[in-house]
Amino acid sequence: MWGLLLSIPVMLGMLMLQVGIVSRLPLLHGTGDLVLLALIAWAVNHRVKMAWFWSVVGGLFVTYISALPAFSPLVVYLMVVIICRLMLRRIWQTPILLLFVMTFAGTILQHLVYIAVLTLAGTPLDITQSISQVVFPSVLVNLLLILPVYSLMNDLANWVYPVELEA
C-alpha cells in the first residue's frame, strides 16, 4: 500500500527535477528523462509490486505538462515498465545489467515513439537530425543519470519493501 501512495510524490518530485534542472542542461538537443529512469530503477527491483501503477502515475503527470500528443508518454512508460518486468522475470539475473540495457533501449524506444507520433501529427521532422541531435545525446545523458537515480529508488524500495529476516 505504501508503494502506491508514494508513487504520487516521488513521480511529482522526479518530474519537478526533470523540468526545473535536467531539462535546462541539454547535451546538443537531448536531455535526460528522470521519470523514465525512476520507473526503470523501480521496475528492476525484485521486491517491487505494481510497478505498472507507477508508470501510469508518471505517464499521466508527463502527459499533463508535455506538448506531445495526448497519452504518448503514458504509453511509452507502460511499454518500458512491462518489458522491464518481463525481462527481469524471465531472463536477467543481474538487475544492474538490466538497468543499463533498459535505459539504453527504453530511451531509444521513447524517442522513436515520440518521433513517430509527431510525424503522424503532421510535424515535419528530419529523422537523421532527430536521431543524431536528440536521441543519441539523450541516451548518453540517461546512461549517466541512471546510477544515482537507481540508488535513490533502490533505497526507497528497501524502505517500502523491507527484507524479512527469518528467525
Q: What is the pTM of this model?
A: 0.92
pLDDT digits (tens, 9 = 90+) for 52-101: 899 999 999 999 998 888 889 999 999 999 999 999 888 767 788 899 99
Quick check: is 152 in a domain?
A: yes
How far CA 111 is from CA of 68, 72, 98, 117, in Å, comes to 11, 11, 19, 10
Query: In the prediction, which pLDDT does 5 show?
Result: 84
The residue whose grid cell reads 526507497 is 156
What is the rounded average pLDDT of the residues 17-36? 91
Query: In the prediction, which pLDDT does 165 show?
Result: 59
Grade residue 167 by pLDDT with cuts at 50, 70 and 90: low
What is the rounded average pLDDT of the residues 139-164? 91
Per the DSSP assignment, residues forming a β-bridge with 27 are 30
Quick check: is 167 in a domain?
A: no
Quick check: is 123 in a domain?
A: yes
Contact 104, 140 (CB under 8 A): no
User: Mean pLDDT in the chain?
Assistant: 90
Quick check: is 110 in a domain?
A: yes
The span from the CA of 12 to the CA of 59, in Å, is 11
Number of compact structural domains in the chain: 1
Quick check: is 52 in a domain?
A: yes
For the chain, the residue count is 167
Quick check: is 7 in a domain?
A: yes
Residue 41's domain spans which residues?
A: 2-20+28-160
Half-sphere exposure of 160 (CA within 13 A, CB side): 22
Quick check: is 67 in a domain?
A: yes
What is the rounded average pLDDT of the residues 145-166? 87
Quick check: is 165 in a domain?
A: no
Q: Is the pLDDT of residue 38 over 80?
A: yes
Query: In the prediction, which pLDDT does 166 show?
Result: 60
